[in-house]
Structure 1
Amino acid sequence: MADYALLILPSTNRVYAEASVDLTLAELQVFNQSVLDGRLDNATRTELGGVPYVTFTADTLSDTDLAYLANLSALYALFRIDGKLLEPIHLHRLDAFDDDLITIQKYQGKTNELFTKLLLNVTLMSSARARDMLDHRLHVLDPMCGRGTTLNQVIMYGWDAAGVDIDQKDFEAYATFIQTWLKRKRVKHQAEVTRVRRDKQLVGRKLDVSIGLTKESYKAGDALTLTYVNADTVKTRDFHRAGSVDLIVTDAPYGVQHGSRAGQGLQRSPLELLREAAPVWADVLRPGGAIGIAWNTNVASRADALDVLAQSGLDPIDEGPYRSFGHRVDQAIVRDIVIARRP
């Protein structure tokens, strides 16, 4: 058996930093269950030199095991413990682009990018596609994508991203940001904003972007696809076929400063919105696909949210590490994750 120490990535968000060790422990256990065949033992919080680490033991870790672990959301570095010494282990992340794609946007209400990555990881690990993380291009939908933090993380992994959001300002801000970023980074791409009509009626606007991972692959016709539709999330089926996405990942309205809006007011409570939208979202998931939702438990209980997903024909996952993701965001928000899988 070998001992390992995982150093947590420093977070500029003090509240999230306080929760990051416990969140990493839960995320690590989900990875352990889904793609590491339970080979990790004794995962716990340990202080080394006054710095908090997550430590664990394992017989051996293969190159594939390390490739999975490299993508843990808050991992800064991984070490093998040799007596009083820490031997660094070289890791290769999936990251396909510079990390400012994730970090450069700053605006009120932005979801912490480390948490966004955690939510995406845990949702994937709960699906039938978990072992495809390293070598397949997945299709991920955020049906309330706001200014695109989830979309950017999906692109960062080299996967196809799709978003839906009703807020016109968020749509315009993201369309401007992603096109500016791609041009500044000199990434081969094409981008277009068009109006979408159904039965001669305008139902929304759509951003379509094709993105080259390399100049050579782009010339060969191999490009990532990014779409963002400015429309109500309950209309998702108007833009995405049934059974067309592998994962759905979204940060639900908190009922505080977020919401589904028409005009200037909050028109639907977060739980009411989930009841309307969840059956639509479930329909666009492929069999074996999973949905992960970040949720404010001060607005509605975890049990209520899971019950809505179950009533939508999904199988909630609610045991072991899945019950350890709750954490405080501020005085009004205690955030948790609910996960369900399509049979």
Structure 2
Amino acid sequence: MARYGLLVAPSANRVYTQSAPELMAAELAVFSERALAGRIEPAEIVEFAGRPYLTFEVEDGLGPDELRVLANLSSAYALFEMVDGGLLRPLGEPSLDRYDDDLITIQKYAGKTNEHFTKLLLNVTVLATSWAEQLLSKRFAVLDPVAGRGTTLNQALMYGWDAVGIELDGKDVEAYSAFLKTWLKNKRIKHTTDMVPLRREGKRLGRRFDARIGDVRDDPQHLSVFEADTIQSRALLKGNSVDVIVADLPYGVVHGSRSAKGLARGPQELLEEALPGWTSLLRPGGALGMSWNTHVAPRSDALDLLEEHGLEAVDFEGFEHRVDQAITRDILVARKV
């Protein structure tokens, strides 16, 4: 048996830092089950020199491709092989990341979801799809139907994938488009962008921001953000056109979700109206992952909603954690069969 130690990355958010070791242990279990044929033994949380690590064992040791898979763990800071005498030998294989990490970290605004959690939610959702073993090779199409200012979209771009967002707030769409255009220009990355009116059946719904990133001769990445109500998603995109849907839902405390019924203080009303459209966009074998405030409604209620709309719940557990006094966040994932 080869033994490894995984140093947990600190977070700017103190509360998330406290939860990160348990969350990454649950994430590591998903990586093992879905992408590494169950080869990783359950992890143990330990401290070395006052810093949290995950330690785990693997029969015959980890190969280069397996190390590349684990390099994408959301809160992984450094991976070591634990050798005789208590020494740690650093290991390194490149992750999927293709851009500088300030694409994810540079934006600062009230209500921004922790970047490590955003990556965690995207990771486990992708690993719930029928293409989990293609994590390193497949170019996934990711939809965030409540995109805000684009943290999930940026993480998808970081991985080299295509991304689509839907966001009702025009100020958020404007802020995101301005940020991405400036960032691409400053990084001297080849790109084209456009902001055009969004119309359906002769009616102006809002705007659409499009970006192509990379040389047009080399199959560039595609990103689109629709300024529209997410319950109109079926009118915006073709059916069976995305592999993954990731939604950090309103927590029903400060931020509510808008629906035909007005301001909804919990995610249930939003889901009831939006899920028919979202599931129609998801390819068979694709997965939907969402965050959920369990103080607003129990986990079982959310799972019932997903199953009512033809999705099969995936049994990923261990992701419930405290955000603040009013928010205990959990992850729920379901697959389209």
Distance, in Å, in 2 between the alignment partners of 1:18 and 1:268 is 28
Per-residue displacement from partner, 1:228-277 (whole Å, max 9, x unpaired)?
Answer: 000000111111111110000110011112222379x7256411111111
Q: For residues 58-207 of structure 1, what are the structure 2 equivalents within 5 Å?
A: 58-59=58-59, 60-83=61-84, 84-207=86-209
Decide which of 317, 320, 323 is 1:326's aligned counterpart. 320
Distance, in Å, in 1 between the alignment partners of 2:87 and 2:67 is 20
Distance, in Å, in 2 between the alignment partners of 1:164 and 1:128 is 24
Q: CA deviation at 1:32?
A: 0.6
Amino acid at match of 1:77: A
Q: CA deviation at 1:147?
A: 0.3
Q: CA deviation at 1:219?
A: 4.4
For the 8 Å contact 1:109–1:257, the answer to whether it is kept is: no
Q: Classify the secondary structure of the residue corresponding to 1:323.
A: coil
1:29 maps to: 29
For the 8 Å contact 2:19–2:321, the answer to whether it is kept is: yes
Go from structure 1 to structure 2 and tell me whether the alpha carbon gap of 1:333 and 1:267 turns closer, same or farther (over 3 Å shift).
closer
Per-residue displacement from partner, 1:305-342 (whole Å, max 9, x unpaired)?
Answer: 11100001000113xxx221000111111110000000
Distance, in Å, in 1 between the alignment partners of 2:187 and 2:331 is 34
TM-score, normalised to structure 2, is 0.97
Q: CA deviation at 1:280?
A: 1.2
Distance, in Å, in 1 between the alignment partners of 2:217 and 2:183 is 23
Distance, in Å, in 2 between the alignment partners of 1:73 and 1:143 is 21
1:10 maps to: 10
Q: CA deviation at 1:42?
A: 3.7
Go from structure 1 to structure 2 and tell me whether the alpha carbon gap of 1:219 and 1:274 turns closer, same or farther (over 3 Å shift).
closer
Per-residue displacement from partner, 1:275-321 (whole Å, max 9, x unpaired)?
Answer: 11112111100000000001111111111011100001000113xxx
For the 8 Å contact 2:242–2:281, the answer to whether it is kept is: yes
Q: Classify the secondary structure of the residue corresponding to 2:43.
A: strand
Q: CA deviation at 1:221?
A: 4.6
Runs of 4 or more consecutive aligned structure 1 residues displaced over 3 Å after TM superposition:
none
Distance, in Å, in 2 between the alignment partners of 1:43 and 1:245 is 33
Per-residue displacement from partner, 1:97-124 (whole Å, max 9, x unpaired)?
Answer: 1000000000010000000000000001
For the 8 Å contact 2:287–2:336, the answer to whether it is kept is: yes
1:54 maps to: 54
Distance, in Å, in 2 between the alignment partners of 1:50 and 1:205 is 50
1:20 maps to: 20
Amino acid at match of 2:234: R
Amino acid at match of 2:79: L
For the 8 Å contact 1:80–1:87, the answer to whether it is kept is: yes
Per-residue displacement from partner, 1:40-59 (whole Å, max 9, x unpaired)?
Answer: 11411011222210000002
Distance, in Å, in 2 between the alignment partners of 1:198 and 1:29 is 44
Distance, in Å, in 1 between the alignment partners of 2:154 and 2:211 is 12
Q: Percent identity?
A: 53
Equivalenced residues, count = 334
Q: Classify the secondary structure of the residue corresponding to 1:220.
A: helix
Amino acid at match of 2:244: L
Distance, in Å, in 2 between the alignment partners of 1:261 and 1:309 is 20
Q: For residues 224-235 of structure 1, what are the structure 2 equivalents within 5 Å?
A: 224-235=221-232
Distance, in Å, in 1 between the alignment partners of 2:121 and 2:249 is 12
For the 8 Å contact 1:145–1:164, the answer to whether it is kept is: yes
Q: Is 1:336 aligned with 2:337?
A: no
Per-residue displacement from partner, 1:51-87 (whole Å, max 9, x unpaired)?
Answer: 2100000022111111100100000000000121000
Task: Mark the runs of 5 or more structure 2 residues left unpaired by the alignment.
Answer: none
Amino acid at match of 2:35: V
Q: CA deviation at 1:169?
A: 1.2
1:215 maps to: none
Distance, in Å, in 1 between the alignment partners of 2:276 and 2:255 is 21
Go from structure 1 to structure 2 and tell me whether the alpha carbon gap of 1:292 and 1:14 turns closer, same or farther (over 3 Å shift).
same
For the 8 Å contact 2:195–2:207, the answer to whether it is kept is: yes
Distance, in Å, in 2 between the alignment partners of 1:85 and 1:73 is 25
2:253 maps to: 256
For the 8 Å contact 1:167–1:261, the answer to whether it is kept is: no
